[in-house]
């Protein structure tokens, strides 16, 4: 059997690359990281016409220049791993700009097929594209398709297999004009004569040297014989080009690429005589309106949390009933002792206490996927961009903040898209205030326990809104003190509106929900067992339990345990917030992962209860004399703001290369959380709330 065809799936952000990847591979996907970096690497397998294709979803990039880690990863894969064929996904409704990347694959002489995606959107806006003429002009096959509906996928795979089997390079040889070409020829000849052993083509290396690509210069300096002479010639050529052309060589090369793309589009695209009404523009007039845009964004967010809480109630009760039955069965068949307590209180109580919120998590992911796939999230970024500039944040900071609603770790990694270090660090210091999915179970637990169902959704929404407000406030404070300086302008891309597909939403939700389930079965399970051990040992001497009823014995044993002692040690600091020592134990455990707050509360309060009854945690919490709606809200505020999880601290260290900023993040967020929770509790008490 022939080996699989290796396909590199490339394209600009928002060109529909992920939709094409999902349409081609379905559920046959594997997610990992590229070697040596933390950029996500998605791979998928598909079979077509009796051939197996391994498809690697490259990071979305606008070029192959070494400006960002995503561009470097995509470029290194194409240049050094040499896939059999590149499928370059371009947005047909925004063709000219997307073809800029295509011209660079042509420069590389890489076997390439162009997926002319969203051809329906282009036609709706009155654009008619002659894909056969484009194929002829640029020397690579163009395949029109609508990935969201699966249209054109078969033809795309047919063409990809044909190009790969024939090792067909682009028929067009990129030329950059006589002034640049003579210098390229000279540098290419010097590279060949230097005996440089590199998998990249000498001409492509020559182009990159003229573009002053730092990575290529460094490689040539280390590996080429006569490197100093080559680099001196490059510098002389760059200076000469600037004198003659009037522009930097990099700009001159980019102009040639844009010129080629523009010329091809001018010839192959026609506009209808009567321009059709662009419904996308019409919708944008409302959704990104200066006055209406922000209230509409807030309305969407409020509706999302209302939906998550209200629709999530019944399935949450089903899952809860399942774990209650399971715990009851385990309690009835296991003999009294530590094993029974470990399984019932530690494992089932801990892991079940987290998995019970899976329906709400799935609903949240469905809502976010719809907003992302429809193109609205980019509008949301546009709407809040001006607000962010007022507090000194760069417009691009919204992207990691948005990702922070899912998980803070990739949000920190997403700060790499920011060019200035001070913008990156400020954004890292505030993304943890965007409520990640791990905190949602804590909110649902407490809001459901202490607030009426018609209020609970609004309570959760207020916590999310508070997180955004605190992030903005702290960004303003940091930019006014530690990180003074001007902000740079940001041109934001607004992709066309698209109808989300069930398949696309299902894949997004499955990926995220499965990650949540895996985390519950690994990290949360591990923490649940550790916390059970800490809450069970050491055991109190028998004379301490004499004369006490079962409930008091359980409470004394918990207080005597290692976790109980830790909780007691920090209780004086938590008392002003209305928290007892058991909440303190849960907050300490939450440093590992925020979901562990729920599992630890479940273990702590179930172990403090007498008997074998498996009452749900919300009912148990409601019975605690020290807990009230006010304390529950203060606790939600504290969980929102206090120290980021261990994974986030580690990735901040890795991104900044120093312990200074992780330590600062852990310290200032915890102090801020204490102050905010204290204000909530104190003001609420003064106003007569309990």
- pLDDT per position as a tens digit, 317-326: 888 788 888 8
Which tens digits make up the pLDDT trace of 225-246?
Answer: 888 999 999 999 999 888 877 7
> What is the rounded CA–CA span in Å between residue 373 and residue 369?
6
Q: Is residue 395 very low, low, confident or very high in pLDDT (cuts 50, 70, 90)?
A: low
Above 90 in pLDDT, residue 142?
Answer: yes
The answer to whether 480 and 390 are in contact (CB under 8 A) is no
Instruction: Kindly state the tokens that stand for 506.
Output: 């299902």
Average pLDDT over residues 552-566: 83
pLDDT score for 229: 92
Average pLDDT over residues 417-438: 84
For helices 629-641 and 581-589, give the axis angle rounded to 10 degrees. 30
Name the least confident of 257-261, 299-303, 513-517, 667-671.
Answer: 513-517
> Could you tell me the CA-to-CA distances from 384 to 306, 375, 379, 486, 491 in Å, in that order?
22, 15, 9, 18, 13
Cα-to-chain-centroid distance, residue 461: 21
Q: Is residue 54 very low, low, confident or very high in pLDDT (cuts 50, 70, 90)?
A: very high
Q: Which of 36-50, 98-112, 513-527 holds the top average pLDDT?
A: 98-112
Q: Is residue 612 very low, low, confident or very high in pLDDT (cuts 50, 70, 90)?
A: very low
Q: Is residue 277 very low, low, confident or very high in pLDDT (cuts 50, 70, 90)?
A: low
Burial 343-359 (b: 16+ CB within 10 A, else e): bbbbbbbbbbbbbbbbb
Q: Is residue 672 very low, low, confident or very high in pLDDT (cuts 50, 70, 90)?
A: very high
Q: Is residue 491 very low, low, confident or very high in pLDDT (cuts 50, 70, 90)?
A: low
Average pLDDT over residues 275-288: 72
The answer to whether 672 and 666 are in contact (CB under 8 A) is no
Above 80 in pLDDT, residue 68?
Answer: no
Above 70 in pLDDT, residue 37?
Answer: no
Partners of residue 43 on adjacent β-strands: 30, 56
Q: What are phi and psi of 65, to 5 degrees?
A: -85, 145
Above 50 in pLDDT, residue 36?
Answer: no
pLDDT score for 493: 59
Residues 6+ apart with CB under 8 A from 96: 258, 261, 262, 265
> How much of the chain is in helix, strand and coil states, percent to nearest 5?
65, 10, 25
Above 50 in pLDDT, residue 683?
Answer: yes
Residues 6+ apart with CB under 8 A from 336: none
Partners of residue 11 on adjacent β-strands: 89
| Maximum C-alpha span of the chain | 99
Instruction: Kindly state the tokens that stand for 216.
Output: 């290529």
The answer to whether 535 and 603 are in contact (CB under 8 A) is yes
The answer to whether 117 and 156 are in contact (CB under 8 A) is no
Q: Is residue 85 very low, low, confident or very high in pLDDT (cuts 50, 70, 90)?
A: very high
**What kind and span of H or E run contains 542?**
helix 542-545
Three-state DSSP state, 401:
helix
pLDDT score for 164: 94
Above 50 in pLDDT, residue 38?
Answer: no
Average pLDDT over residues 161-176: 91
pLDDT score for 669: 95
Q: Which of 45, 163, 79 is nearest to 115 (CA)?
A: 163
* Residues in the chain, total: 690
For the chain, the C-alpha Rg in angstroms (whole number) is 29
Q: Is residue 430 very low, low, confident or very high in pLDDT (cuts 50, 70, 90)?
A: very high
Sign for the CA dihedral angle at 176, 178, 181, 183 comes to negative
> Could you tell me the CA-to-CA distances from 50 to 2, 151, 161 in Å, in that order?
10, 20, 11
Above 80 in pLDDT, residue 414?
Answer: no
Q: What are phi and psi of 198, to 5 degrees?
A: -145, 145
The answer to whether 42 and 173 are in contact (CB under 8 A) is no
> What is the rounded CA–CA span in Å between residue 588 and residue 52?
49
Q: Which of 305, 689, 594 is nearest to 460 (CA)?
A: 305
Q: Is residue 63 very low, low, confident or very high in pLDDT (cuts 50, 70, 90)?
A: confident
Average pLDDT over residues 78-98: 91
Q: 């089932």: which residue's tokens?
A: 348
Q: Is residue 579 very low, low, confident or very high in pLDDT (cuts 50, 70, 90)?
A: very high
Q: Enter the DSSP assignment of 357.
A: T
Instruction: Kindly state the tokens that stand for 414.
Output: 């997403």
Cα-to-chain-centroid distance, residue 682: 37
Q: Is residue 610 very low, low, confident or very high in pLDDT (cuts 50, 70, 90)?
A: very low
pLDDT score for 530: 83
Above 80 in pLDDT, residue 49?
Answer: yes
> What is the rounded CA–CA span in Å between residue 278 and residue 340?
65
Percent of the chain surpassing pLDDT 70 = 91
> What is the rounded CA–CA span in Å between residue 300 and residue 296?
6
Q: How many CB atoms lie within 10 A of CB 288?
A: 20
Average pLDDT over residues 475-491: 76
Instruction: Kindly state the tokens that stand for 543.
Output: 């004379």
pLDDT, averaged across the chain: 84
């Amino acid at each position: 059997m022939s080996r699989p065809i290796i396909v590199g799936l490339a394209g600009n952000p928002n060109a529909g690359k992920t939709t094409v990847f999902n349409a081609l591979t379905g559920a046959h996907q594997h997610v990992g990281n590229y070697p040596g970096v933390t950029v996500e690497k998605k791979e998928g397998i598909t079979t077509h016409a009796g051939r197996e294709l391994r498809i690697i979803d490259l990071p979305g990039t606008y070029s192959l220049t070494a400006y960002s880690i995503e561009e470097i990863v995509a470029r290194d894969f194409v240049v050094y791993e040499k896939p059999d064929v590149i499928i370059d996904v371009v947005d047909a409704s925004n063709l000219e700009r997307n073809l800029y990347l295509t011209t660079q694959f042509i420069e590389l002489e890489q076997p390439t097929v162009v997926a002319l995606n969203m051809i329906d959107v282009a036609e709706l806006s009155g654009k008619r594209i002659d894909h056969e003429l484009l194929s002829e002009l640029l020397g690579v096959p163009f395949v029109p398709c609508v990935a969201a509906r699966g249209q054109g996928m078969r033809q795309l795979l047919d063409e990809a297999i044909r190009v790969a089997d024939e090792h067909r390079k682009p028929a067009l040889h990129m030329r950059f004009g006589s002034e640049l070409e003579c210098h390229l020829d000279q540098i290419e000849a010097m590279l060949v004569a230097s005996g440089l052993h590199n998998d990249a083509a000498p001409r492509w290396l020559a182009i990159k040297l003229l573009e002053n690509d730092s990575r290529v210069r460094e490689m040539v300096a280390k590996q080429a014989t006569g490197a100093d002479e080559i680099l001196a010639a490059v510098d002389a050529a760059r200076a000469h080009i600037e004198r003659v052309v009037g522009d930097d060589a990099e700009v001159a090369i980019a102009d040639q690429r844009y010129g080629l793309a523009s010329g091809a589009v001018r010839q192959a695209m026609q506009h209808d005589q009567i321009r059709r009404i662009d419904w996308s523009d019409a919708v944008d007039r409302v959704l990104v309106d200066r006055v209406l845009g922000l209230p509409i964004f807030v309305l969407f967010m409020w509706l999302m949390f209302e939906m998550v809480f209200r629709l999530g109630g019944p399935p949450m009760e089903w899952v809860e009933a399942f774990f209650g039955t399971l715990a009851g069965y385990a309690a009835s068949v296991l003999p009294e002792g530590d094993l029974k307590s470990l399984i019932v209180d530690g494992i089932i109580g801990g892991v079940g206490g987290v998995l019970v919120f899976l329906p709400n998590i799935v609903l949240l992911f469905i809502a976010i996927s719809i907003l992302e796939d429809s193109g609205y999230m980019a509008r949301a970024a546009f709407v809040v961009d001006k607000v962010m500039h007022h507090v000194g944040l760069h417009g691009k900071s919204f992207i990691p903040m948005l990702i922070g609603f899912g998980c803070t770790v990739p949000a920190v990694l997403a700060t790499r898209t920011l060019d200035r270090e001070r913008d990156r660090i400020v954004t890292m210091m505030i993304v943890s205030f965007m409520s990640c999915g791990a905190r949602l179970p804590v909110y649902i637990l407490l809001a459901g326990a202490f607030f009426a169902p018609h209020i609970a959704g609004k309570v959760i929404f207020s916590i999310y809104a508070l997180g955004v407000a605190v992030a903005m406030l702290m960004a303003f404070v940091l930019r006014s003190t530690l990180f003074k300086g001007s902000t740079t302008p940001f041109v934001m891309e607004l992709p066309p509106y698209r109808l989300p597909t069930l398949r696309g939403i299902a894949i997004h939700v499955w990926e995220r929900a499965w990650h949540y389930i895996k985390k519950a079965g690994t990290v949360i399970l591990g923490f649940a067992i550790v916390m059970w051990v800490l809450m069970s040992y050491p055991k109190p001497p028998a004379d301490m339990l004499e004369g006490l009823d079962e409930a008091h014995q359980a409470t004394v044993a918990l207080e005597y345990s290692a976790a109980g002692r830790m909780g007691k040690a920090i209780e004086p600091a938590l008392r002003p917030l209305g928290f007892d020592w058991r909440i303190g134990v849960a907050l300490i455990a939450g440093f590992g992962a925020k979901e562990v707050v729920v599992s630890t509360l479940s273990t702590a309060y179930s172990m403090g209860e007498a008997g074998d009854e498996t009452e749900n945690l919300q009912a148990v919490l409601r019975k605690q004399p020290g807990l009230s709606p006010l304390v529950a809200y203060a606790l939600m505020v504290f969980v929102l703001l206090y120290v980021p999880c261990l994974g986030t601290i580690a990735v901040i260290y890795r991104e900044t290369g120093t312990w200074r900023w992780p330590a600062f993040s852990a310290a200032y967020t915890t102090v801020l959380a204490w102050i905010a929770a204290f204000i909530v509790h104190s003001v609420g008490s003064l106003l007569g709330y309990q």
